[in-house]
Amino acid sequence: MTQKLLRLIYAFEFLIALVAIFTAWSEIGGQAALDLMHWGWKLGFSVGLASAAVAYTAAVVAQDKLWTLRSARWLTVIILIVLGIGVVTYFYVLQEDSGESDETGTISMCLPVAPESGPV
């Protein structure tokens, strides 16, 4: 394959990886935790993981062997980023749970009781 075609394929892989990361993250970690999360965490982790996936693919394609030092390093980076995603998501899941109350949100009304009158 030519280098220009490989660059185009890597660009498409990056975009597909971003969509896959956000879809999997919302399904596994929960959309409520992602809604609470700061946008910087989501942007950093998703772009970092998509870039690491593309770099891992490039390292595998560059050599005939599947396991090289370069591909092992990128796989390690992918695992570390996924662990980071898990830790941050877990923190925000705990924040989500701490904001809930045990009340059901029902309102009880007290009806006034008619005063008892003596014998008429």
State the DSSP string of 43-103.
Answer: HHHHHHHHHHHHHHHHHHHHSSSS--HHHHHHHHHHHHHHHHHHHHHHHHHHHHHHT--S-
Q: Can you give the pLDDT at residue 99?
A: 63
Q: What angle do the packed helices 39-62 and 69-98 form, to 10 degrees? A: 160
For the chain, residues with pLDDT lower than 70 are: 99-114, 117-120
Tell me the two tokens of residue 116: 């008892």
Question: 35-67, pLDDT tens digit by residue?
Answer: 999 999 999 999 999 999 999 999 999 988 888
Give residue limits of the domains in the chain.
3-98
Task: For residues 32 and 106, give the distance between their C-alpha atoms in angstroms, rounded to a whole number.
Answer: 23
Task: For residues 61 and 71, give the distance between their C-alpha atoms in angstroms, rounded to a whole number.
Answer: 10
Q: Can you give the pLDDT at residue 5?
A: 94
Q: Can you give the pLDDT at residue 120?
A: 60
Q: Can you give the pLDDT at residue 111?
A: 65
Task: Report pTM.
Answer: 0.77
